[in-house]
Amino acid sequence: MLARRSTPLFVLALALLGVLSVATPAAVVTAQSACYTLTLYAHPYGGILPSPAPNCGGSSYTAGTVVSLQARYASCMTFAGWTGDASGTSSSTSIVMDRAKSVGMTLTRVGYWC
């Protein structure tokens, strides 16, 4: 509930004399954006680089933030695809933070030694 403020009489008198103009204070409502956590699962031979960095504390993003994800991995591996809330076989993708999300990646070994 918004509190109502009254205007002191001397301010009203100055306004009536034309010395001061009085504006009715508008109700100020601050909408706080929701924050959603992005959980990134690392692979023993790689990781996921998000951009931009979390903007809502910890590993959270404000609602509607578009987060680009880039897979980074050892040269003895190839990128096979995204898991969780991301999909595709390109080593980069984007997601929109409209709820809490989790993303992982699948890598395939290129050679025997890694």
User: Is pTM beyond 0.85 here?
Assistant: no
pLDDT mean across residues, the chain: 81
Mean pLDDT value of segment 87-97: 97
Stretch 34-45: mean pLDDT:
94
The C-alpha atoms of residue 41 and residue 30 are separated, in whole angstroms, by: 35
Alpha carbon of residue 62 to chain centroid: 3
Q: Please give the pLDDT value at position 82.
A: 98
pLDDT band at 94 (very low <50, low <70, confident <90, very high): very high
Question: Is the model's pLDDT at 2 over the cut of 70?
Answer: no
Cα distance between residue 51 and residue 46, in whole Å: 17
Q: What is the pLDDT of residue 31?
A: 58
pLDDT of residue 62: 97
Is residue 18 over pLDDT 50? yes
Hey, what amino acid is at 8?
Answer: P
